[in-house]
Amino acid sequence: MPNQRRIAYQGEPGANSHIVCQEHYPTWEALACASFEDVFAAVESGEADLAMIPIDNSLAGRVADIHHFLPDSGLHIIGEHFLRIRFHLMGVPGATLESIDTVHSHVHALGQCRKVIRAHGLTPVISGDTAGAAREVAEAGDPTQASISPPLAARIYGLQVLAEDVEDEDHNTTRFVVLSRDLVEAAPGSGPVVTSFIFNVRNLPSALYKALGGFATNGVNMTKLESYMVGGQFTATQFLAEVDGHPDDPGLKRALEELAFFTTDVKILGVYPADPFRA
């Protein structure tokens, strides 16, 4: 297909990131990458047009340390998507719940599916990736091995689903952000918007309190605030923050001006439409 547009993700074909790419960019080619660094490099080099990166999970918390990659990458957040995480227990054709002894998956997935593992007396085996676990089971061709993987992986690797939706919690949700080389900002007044930014504060008493005061006094809702050490030093802290609103909104504009007064290196990473899931 000429000029086929590509979206890069971390993981093997059939991973949750692959599912999100298919859901929101169905006509695009999804490009599997081994690591988050490879995903960023693919977009920076032009090998891919966009990237889909998981940033938070409702059970596991922070997924990718995008503060580490984004500030110097020249990439921008242009969208967000939420995916309800579903895992199936799967084995090779002919395998049954009685024949399986071991279950392969990513360490987080094994931790999120403890009940089914315990119920069937399975021995967990850690794999690097949930979809990669399905590939490994398919390649082994052993009816005593199973994997806990996303539903798409069963189709890709020709596995038989032995039990559906085996996750312990049905509210397991991951938030993904879409990254682009081009800055594409949501238009002001076009509906609910999220603004993501980073800033540094000096390690002084009440520095963060003063920096964030403007958001409170201007009625801006902050939905995320995470701290990171900068350059291995303990003398300054970098924060990744997300707020509801557009930088052109009067309240947020004033809050960001006040923030700049008490901090260094304020950098907006993206201004993008809020996913309807938030509502």
Positions annotated as catalytic residues are 174, 176
Residues 6+ apart with CB under 8 A from 126: 104, 105, 106, 107, 110
Phi first, then psi, for residue 148 (nearest 5°) are -105, 110
Q: Are 194 and 223 contacting, i.e. CB atoms less than 8 angstroms apart?
A: yes
